[in-house]
Structure 1
Amino acid sequence: MPIAARVAELVADHAPAGPTTPAAPARLVEDLGFDSLHLMELLVSLQIEFDLEPFADAELVGLSSVADLTTFITSKLSPEIDDAGALLGWLASPRTDAGISWLGDDGEWRTASYADLAAAALRTAAWLREQGVEPGDVVSLTLAGVDDFVTAFFGVLAAGAVPSPLAPPLALGSLDNYIDHAAHLLTLAAPRLILADPTITDHLTTAATKAALPCKVTPLQDTHATGTTPHQPDPEAIALLQFTSGSSGRPRGVRLTMGNLGANIGMIRRWLGLGRDELTVSWLPLHHDMGLIGCLLTPIVNQSPLRTMRPDQFIRDPLRWLRCLGADGAAVAVSPTFGFAYTLSRVRPEALADLDFSNWRVAIVGAERVDPLVLQRFAALLEPHGFQPGTFRPAYGLAEATLAVTGTQGETPLAIRPDWSTMLPGQLVSVLEQAPLGVVPAGPGWVTCCGQPHPSLLLEVLDDEGRPLPPGHLGEVAVSGPSISTQAHLGGSTSATRLAGTQLRTGDAGFLYAGQLVVVGRTGDSLKVRGRHLFAEELEARLVTETGIPAGRIAVALGIAAGRETAVLVCEQPLTDDQRAAAEAVLTRETGGADIRIETGPRGLVLRTSSGKARRRELWQRYCG
C-alpha cells in the first residue's frame, strides 16, 4: 500500500471522533479533534507500522496536517534518495565513464562525460557570481543544445540562484507571438539575467524591454573562471521556476523547492528501478516538465547514460529514435501518445528488420490522453522484434506536482470502456468492459488506466464540496505530498488547478478503478449534457474514430455562447462532404443538440502550447469569445 494511503488509514483509525476518511489538508487538531493523548498513540502506531526509531520532539514541530505527516514519514523512510541535496550531489563526484550524448545537425552523436559537464557547471557558477547573480535570483534559460543547457542549469543552481527554462521560438512560428509570449513569462519570472542562444538574444532583448525588465540578455560564456564550491541548498529554497503548458489558460509559473525536486526525482528513480548503466533516450523539449525532470534531471542525478535529440530532429526522422532503442541498447524512453502515433505514421515494418527491442524495459507514456489503441498498434509493429506490451508505463503528472503523480508498475497496461452516460459528478461510473493492452477491441470510448499513486503521495478524488469520494466515483483529482509545490503560483488564478492549503486540486476529472487512476478530462474543458460531464478529449477521440480525421489535426472547445451550449471543432485540413456530415452527426449526438461550429484551415489553425497541447481556452475566445 502506498505510504500516503497507509498514513491516512492510521490517522482515521486513531481519530477521536472515530474512523473517517480524512482529506490530505485536514488539520489533526482543529479538523479531526486530536488531543495530546490521541496524537501520541498515532505517532507510536506510525513508528511501529513503518519500523522507525522514536521521533525526536524537534522533528514534530510544525506537523499539523495529514499531508505534513505523510511528507515526514516519507523523508524518514528514504532519505538517501529524497534528500534535497541529491540534485547537486553529483557535481562533487561525477562519473568519467558515463554522460550525455546529443545528436548534431550533421547527424553525428557527440558526448560529454558527467565529469566534463560538472566542471563546466562549476565554472559557470563562478562566472554568474561575477555577473552579480546572487542566491535566490532567477536566471532564465533559452538554450537549445543539451550540453549548454545542462552547464547553465546546474551552474545557476550551484550559484544558489533559480533556473527558469523558457521555450525557444517555434520553427516557422510568428516571431511577434513568440516575443509576446516570452514577455509574459519574463514578467512573471523577473530574472536577474537571461542566458540565450546567440541567434535569439535580440528577440529576447525585445521581449525583456516589452516586459520593462532591466536584465541583461547574453549567450552562455565559455568561461575560464575558476570553478566554485556549490552553494549549500536549503531544502525549502526555491530550486526551479517552471511554467505550465498553458493548455487551459496563459502559462503560470510554478516555484519548486529543492525538497520538491529531490522528492519527485527520488520517486521516479524508485519507480523505474533505474540502473546505473541503463541508457535513457529522449526527444522531449528541455523546457517542459516531462522532458526536463523525467528525461534530463533524473538520469543526471542517477549518473546513468543519456542520449538526447531535439523535437525537430525526432519529427524529421523518428526511426533515428527507434534505432537508439533497437540497435544501441537504450532501456528507457518517454513520450506522449503523439510520439508513438507519429512514429507509426512514418516508420514502415521493413525498416525494423535489423532491430532488436528486447532490451527496451520502460516506455513512459504521459503528458496527454493515453490512447490504448495507438499503444496497441505500436506494440504490434515492434513485437516481432522483441518489444513487450508491459514495457509501456502509462503515467499521470503535472508541473504543479513537480512532475510524476501516478504510474503503472510494469504489468501489461489496462484499458477500460466506461459507460459515458454515467459520467455524473460524485456518482459511481459504470465500467462496461476492461481489457489488457493487446486485446482492446477497436472502437470509441476506451481509456487507459494510469497506474497507482507513487508511495509518498496521497491522491484523492473529491466531490464538489472537496470531500473524498469512494473508489469508482467521478470527481476532481487532488494530490498532496512532498513533491507538491505549495508556493503561490505566478500568473493569476485563471486555471482550474489551484492550492487548498497544502493539497493540489488539479482541475482534472477522474476516478479510481482497480487501484489505478483514470483521468477523463479537464473540468474546465467540458459541458454538462443531460446531467453528465462531456469532455473535449473524449469528443475528439470519437471524432477521430468515426470521421477518419487524424488526431493531430483537430481540437474541440466547449462552452456557453449567447446562453447556449456550444461545441467548436477546429480542423487543420479541408473536410469532404462525408467527413463534415459525420463530424456534425457526432457533435450533435454527443452534445445533446448543442450549437455546432466547424472551422477549417491550414496547419497552425489549432493554437498549441510549446509542448504541443491544444490551447482550448484561446480557441474558444477566438471563435466564441
Structure 2
Amino acid sequence: MPLSEESGSFQSMQMYGLPMKNGEKRQLVFAEIKKLIKELHPELHVQPHVSLDSLLDKDLGLDSLGRIELLVRLEKKLEVHLAERVLTTAETPRDILRALEKSRGARTQRAPDERVVTEPVADVDLTRYEPLTLNEVITHHAEFLSDTVHITLDDFNNGEKNISFAELYKGAQEVAGGLQQYGLEQGDTVAIMLPTSTAYFYSFMAVLLIGCVPVPLYPPTRPSQIEEHLRRHTKILDNAQARVLITIDQVRLIGRLLQTQIDSLRAVVTVEDLCENRQSFVPIPCHEGDIAFLQYTSGSTGDPKGVILTHANLLANIRAMGQVTKAGSKDVFVSWLPLYHDMGLIGAWLGSLYFGCRLVVMPPLSFLARPERWLWAIHKYRGTLSASPNFGYEVCCRRIDDAALEGLDLSSWRLAFNGAESISSQTITRFINRFTAYGFRKECYAPVYGLAESSVGLAFPPLNRGPLVDVIKRDLFLRTGQATPTGEQESSLEFVACGQPLPGHQVRIVDSDGRELPDRQQGRLHFKGPSATSGYLRNPKQTKELFVDEWLDSGDLAYIADGDVYITSRVKDIIIRGGRNVYPHEYEEAVGDIDGIRKGCVAVFGSHDRQDGTEKVVVLAESRVVAPDRQAALREKITSIGVNLLGMPPDDVIIASPGSVLKTSSGKVRRAATRELYEKGIIGQKQRPVWLQIIHMSLVSVLPVLRQLYRKVGSYGYAAYCWLLLAVLVVPLTAGLSMIRSADKSWLLAHRCARLLAWLSGTRIDIKGRAHIEKQEHVLLVANHMSYMDALILTASMPVRCSFVAKAELGENRWLRRPLTNLGTIFVKRFDAEQGKEDSKRISQQVGSGQRILFFAEGTLQRMSGLLPFQMGVFVAAVENKTGIVPITIRGTRNKLRCDSWFPRRGPVRVIFSPKIMPTGDDWQAALSLRNAVRGKILSQVGEPDLAGEFSSLAQMDIARPEKE
C-alpha cells in the first residue's frame, strides 16, 4: 500500500522503529508540500505538479518562510534535526531528500529553565579613559579585561563558543599577520564575506589593526541567486577598490569570478589560509579621523553606496546611544542580526565592544528557522538589550507555538529596539500582548530611527517610556502633509514615534525649498552631528545630493510632534498622483492581506508616463494564481483597495509569479530596481539555472581576464626591461668608478648614469626644494628609507655631491668596495656596539671637515608602509659639530620596488628637500630635539603612518648612545 499522511503508515513505522525507505520519504515530502501549498493558496482549483526537481519557489510557490515551515514539519514527522543551511541551499524536493538522508538524531530541545550563571563583570570606566579609535578600545580591553568573556557564539546545534577580550585580540593578530603578507598599505580596503562566526570577528578586527578598512559583505544564501549576488558585489568591490577578499571555502568560486572582474582585487583567501601563512604582524597606528569601515547601503533605492564612517563617527554614535540607554559593562546584548548590517555590526557588536559588555550572537538562519531561539537566548543568558527589525517581532508573534515558550522568562530584557525598517503599530501591540505573560514589560519596547549615513542611530526614545503611537487624520495628511491628531479609527493613519535626536545631534523638517517646517507638518528630514558621514566613497554626485549646506538629507519624509520624530516614508518611494501623495508601504500591506497574494511580496511604485508626463501608480503582486479569471478577480480587489486608500485606482496592476519582486539582503522591497525591470518589460523573467548563470558570468569575465593577462605580461616585461637596463649600465659605471680617482668626477658619472636609468625606465622624478641644498656646504642630510632603489633615486636627484653612509657588508664585497669608496661612501657596522662608537667618531670628524654626508636614519627598510624610528648617530654628530640637517623625504619608491622583492613596477617618485634645521644646544637633549624636528618634518611629507611606537627598542639602534648618558 502506498504511504500517505492520511493512512498513518509512516507514523506506524516510526512507532515500531522501522526505518523509512527512500520512496516512502519521498511520498512523505510530496504530501507535506501539497498540504502546505493548499494552506498557502486555497484559491487554487488545480495544484501544481510536484516532482523531485520542481523549484520550491518558482514552480511550487513556496517563499523563504514557506520553505522554513515545510522543513520544520518534516523534522517533526521524521524526528530529525536539519542544519539551518538547508533553508538556503534546498531548491527542490530532491535537495530536501538529500538533506534528510544526511540528518542525524532527533530534533534537539532546549531545557526551559536552562540559564547561564555569569561571573561578575568589572565596571569599565570610560570617563577616565576615552578611546579615540576602535583599535584603542580592543587593546585597552585586552589588557584590563583580558579574561572577561566578550562574545558568546551559540548556534544551538554545536553548543556555545566563548571568546574573551584577550582571545579576540590574539585571534585578530594571527589573521592580521597573514593579511600583511599581501602587501596591504594603510587605508587599503579588505572585503569580508563571512557568516556569523569567530572568523568574522577576528577578520574585522585584524583589518583594523593593520590600518586597513573593512568592507562587510553578505555571503550568498541560495545558489540560484549567484548571478544577482555576483553582479551586486562586483559594483561594491569595484567602488571600494578592495585589495583582498576574505571568505569561506564554499564561495571561493564566486570569489574567483569576482577577482576576474575587479582590477584591484589581489587575492581571495580564507581565514585558515591567513593563519597558516601568518607571520608576526606590525600594528599600524590609526587616528580618529581615519576611515573605520565602509558601510554599503542595502540598495533598496538604487545601486549600493559606500558610506564613509570614521573612528570618530562610530565612537560618537556609540557613546550617544550608550548615554541614552544607560549602557554599561554589566549589560548582555543578545543578537541574531547579520554582521554585515549596521544594526548588527555597530549597534550590537561594536557597541558591546566599546562598553566592555557581553555579546551573545546567533546566526541569522538560526532565528529564521526557529525564532523562539532568540527569546530563549535572552532567557538563558539573562539578556538586557536586544534589537530586531519590525519583521522579527512579527515572526515571533505569528510563528512560535505556545508550547515552545513554556517556562520562558523575559524579565531581564530592559530594552527591545525596533528599527532598520518601517515600524508597525499593530506589530508592537501584538508582541506586547503576546509576551507580557512571559515577563516582557511594555516600557522596554523602544522604537528607534537611524541610517547608515549617521553611523547607525539618530533618534532614540526616553528610557522606560514604551512605544508611542500617533493617530492622525488620513485624508488631511494625504492632501496637505498636516499630521492632525484624531480619535476616529476608521479614517485615520498611525505612525510610531521613534524618539528624540541623540545627544549632540540635531534634526529638522524642511519643505521642498529648504524652509524649516513647524511641528506636525511633513517634510524632508535633515540631520547633523558628530556621527554623520562625510559622504559616499568615490561618488561625488551622490555626496553632493546628500548635503544641504551643513545638513545631511536623510531621504526620509517625517514630522516632529512634542519633540519625537515620526517617519512616514522614503522620499523616493512617494508617488505623487493627481496632487496627492501615495505611500507605497501602506498600500503594499493591504494588498498583501488579500487571499492569493504572497504577503511581503508586493511592490507599489511610480513610473513615469511618457504620454502625459505624470507618474502612474503601478502595483506588482506575486501570486501562484494562473487562471485568467482568478487573476482578474485579484486585480479587482487590488484596485478596490487603491480606491479606498488613495481615492483613485492604480494605473497598472500586475499579477506575477513568485520571485518577481526584488528585495535586498535584509528583506526590504527594492522598489527602484523593480520599477527598472517594469519599465524594461522584463518583470517575472525566469531565472537561468545555476550552471547557466555560472557559464554566463564566466564568459562575461573573459574580457577582464584578458585585460589582467595583458597587464601581467606588461608588468613582467617592464621588470625584465629594467633589469636589462641596469645590467647594461652597471658594467661601464662600475669600471668607470673604479678607475676615476676624483670624487667629484666619480659623483658626476654616477649622477648622470642614474638620471639616464630613470629616463630610460620611464621613472618620473619630481624634485621639490632643490634650492635648500644647492648652496649648503657644511650640512648633514637625513632621508627616510623605503626601497633598495633609494640610493639610485637620490643620486639622480642630488644637485651636489654627497657621501652616503652604508652598511659595512657592502664594503666587504670585492666588486663594490672600490667604486663605492671612490664615491666617498662611509661604511659602518650596524650590530657592533664598540665599532659603532668608532664609526660615530669618524663620521663626526668628516662632518667637521665640511663634507655633505647623507644618512638613511631609519637604519633599515621594510616592505610595509610606515616611518620607523630614527637612529641617534647623525643627530649626535650634528650637535657635536654644530651642523644643521637638511631633511629629505622620498615618496613612491616603496611601490616601485619593495623590500624582499626583485620585481620593479612603473610609477612616479618624489624627492622633497626641506629647509635646514639647526641644533639648539650641545647636549643629549639637543640631539633628541633635533631628531624629533627632522623626523617630524619627514613624517609630515611622507604620507605613511608613524611606526615609532612599534620599533622603539634600543637594540635596533646602530650607533650607541654616548657614554655620558
TMscore range, shorter length: 0.7 to 0.9
Letter in 1 for 2:484: S
Instruction: Note the alpha carbon deviations across 1:221-247, whole angstroms, 9 max, x for none.
Output: 225856656433221111111100111
1:233 to 273, 282, 286: 286
Checking the alignment, whether the CA contact within 8 Å between 2:173 and 2:281 is kept in structure 1 is yes
Q: Matched residues in 2 for 1:443 and 1:132: separation?
A: 64
Q: Matched residues in 1 for 2:353 and 2:602: separation?
A: 37
Letter in 2 for 1:378: F
Letter in 2 for 1:182: H
DSSP 3-state at the match of 2:604: strand
Letter in 1 for 2:665: S
1:401 aligns to 2:449 (yes or no): no
Checking the alignment, whether the CA contact within 8 Å between 2:378 and 2:413 is kept in structure 1 is yes
Q: How does 1:427-446 map to 2 (within 5 A)?
A: 428-433=482-487, 445-446=493-494
1:354 to 395, 399, 407: 407
**CA 1:109–1:596 in structure 2 vs 1: closer, same or farther (change >3 Å)?**
farther
Equivalent residue number for residue 322 of structure 2? 269
Checking the alignment, whether the CA contact within 8 Å between 1:457 and 1:480 is kept in structure 2 is yes
Structure 1 residues without counterparts, runs of 5 or longer:
1-77, 435-440
DSSP 3-state at the match of 1:91: helix
2:237 to 186, 192, 199: 186
DSSP 3-state at the match of 1:446: strand
* Count of matched residue pairs: 542
Moved more, 362-371 or 603-612: 603-612
1:293 offset after TM fit, Å? 0.7
DSSP 3-state at the match of 2:458: strand
Q: Matched residues in 1 for 2:156 and 2:409: separation?
A: 26
Q: Matched residues in 2 for 1:117 and 1:485: separation?
A: 28
Equivalent residue number for residue 583 of structure 2? 535
Equivalent residue number for residue 462 of structure 1? 510
Instruction: Note the alpha carbon deviations across 1:182-224, whole angstroms, 9 max, x for none.
Output: 1111111101211111211221221131233342111122258
**CA 1:193–1:524 in structure 2 vs 1: closer, same or farther (change >3 Å)?**
same
Q: Matched residues in 2 for 1:347 and 1:496: separation?
A: 46
1:92 offset after TM fit, Å? 3.2
Equivalent residue number for residue 84 of structure 1? 132
1:569 to 611, 616, 619: 619
Structure 2 residues without counterparts, runs of 5 or longer:
1-125, 681-965
Q: Matched residues in 2 for 1:492 and 1:597: separation?
A: 36
**CA 1:162–1:211 in structure 2 vs 1: closer, same or farther (change >3 Å)?**
same
Equivalent residue number for residue 560 of structure 2? 512
Task: Give the structure with the higher percent helix.
Answer: 2
Equivalent residue number for residue 312 of structure 1? 365
1:169 aligns to 2:207 (yes or no): no
Instruction: Note the alpha carbon deviations across 1:418-450, whole angstroms, 9 max, x for none.
Output: 22333369853222249xxxxxx7997322111
1:499 aligns to 2:553 (yes or no): no
1:289 to 301, 323, 342: 342
Q: How does 1:338-417 map to 2 (within 5 A)?
A: 338-409=391-462, 410-417=464-471
DSSP 3-state at the match of 2:392: helix
Equivalent residue number for residue 618 of structure 1? 673
1:345 offset after TM fit, Å? 2.0
Equivalent residue number for residue 607 of structure 1? 662
**CA 1:314–1:295 in structure 2 vs 1: closer, same or farther (change >3 Å)?**
same
Q: Matched residues in 1 for 2:420 and 2:167: separation?
A: 32
1:251 aligns to 2:304 (yes or no): yes
Moved more, 608-617 or 197-206: 197-206
Checking the alignment, whether the CA contact within 8 Å between 2:332 and 2:359 is kept in structure 1 is yes
Q: Matched residues in 2 for 1:309 and 1:595: separation?
A: 42
Checking the alignment, whether the CA contact within 8 Å between 1:255 and 1:487 is kept in structure 2 is yes
DSSP 3-state at the match of 2:651: strand
DSSP 3-state at the match of 1:450: coil
Q: Matched residues in 1 for 2:559 and 2:597: separation?
A: 29
Equivalent residue number for residue 216 of structure 1? 267
1:103 to 120, 138, 154: 154
Q: Matched residues in 1 for 2:308 and 2:520: separation?
A: 33
**CA 1:333–1:545 in structure 2 vs 1: closer, same or farther (change >3 Å)?**
same
**CA 1:93–1:423 in structure 2 vs 1: closer, same or farther (change >3 Å)?**
same
Checking the alignment, whether the CA contact within 8 Å between 1:418 and 1:431 is kept in structure 2 is yes
Q: Matched residues in 2 for 1:171 and 1:443: separation?
A: 43
Q: Matched residues in 1 for 2:333 and 2:171: separation?
A: 22
Checking the alignment, whether the CA contact within 8 Å between 1:245 and 1:609 is kept in structure 2 is yes
Equivalent residue number for residue 903 of structure 2? none
Letter in 2 for 1:246: G
1:516 offset after TM fit, Å? 0.5
Checking the alignment, whether the CA contact within 8 Å between 1:251 and 1:491 is kept in structure 2 is no
Checking the alignment, whether the CA contact within 8 Å between 2:152 and 2:359 is kept in structure 1 is yes
Checking the alignment, whether the CA contact within 8 Å between 2:241 and 2:265 is kept in structure 1 is no
Q: Percent identity, please.
A: 27
**CA 1:497–1:570 in structure 2 vs 1: closer, same or farther (change >3 Å)?**
farther
Instruction: Note the alpha carbon deviations across 1:100-120, whole angstroms, 9 max, x for none.
Output: 122347342222222111111
DSSP 3-state at the match of 1:285: coil
DSSP 3-state at the match of 1:600: strand
Equivalent residue number for residue 115 of structure 1? 166
Q: Matched residues in 1 for 2:656 and 2:528: separation?
A: 43
**CA 1:330–1:443 in structure 2 vs 1: closer, same or farther (change >3 Å)?**
farther
2:313 to 256, 260, 284: 260
Checking the alignment, whether the CA contact within 8 Å between 1:565 and 1:595 is kept in structure 2 is no
Checking the alignment, whether the CA contact within 8 Å between 2:445 and 2:466 is kept in structure 1 is yes
2:637 to 578, 582, 586: 582
Letter in 2 for 1:485: T
Q: Matched residues in 1 for 2:595 and 2:495: separation?
A: 19
DSSP 3-state at the match of 1:432: coil
**CA 1:225–1:595 in structure 2 vs 1: closer, same or farther (change >3 Å)?**
closer
1:597 offset after TM fit, Å? 2.7
- Give the number of the structure with larger relative contact order, counting CA–CA contacts within 8 Å between residues 6 or more apart: 1
Checking the alignment, whether the CA contact within 8 Å between 2:475 and 2:491 is kept in structure 1 is no
Q: Matched residues in 2 for 1:537 and 1:216: separation?
A: 42
Q: Matched residues in 1 for 2:451 and 2:478: separation?
A: 24
Q: Matched residues in 2 for 1:153 and 1:175: separation?
A: 24
Task: Give the structure with the higher percent strand.
Answer: 1
Checking the alignment, whether the CA contact within 8 Å between 2:240 and 2:537 is kept in structure 1 is no
Letter in 2 for 1:357: L
Q: Matched residues in 2 for 1:443 and 1:168: separation?
A: 44
Checking the alignment, whether the CA contact within 8 Å between 1:337 and 1:371 is kept in structure 2 is yes
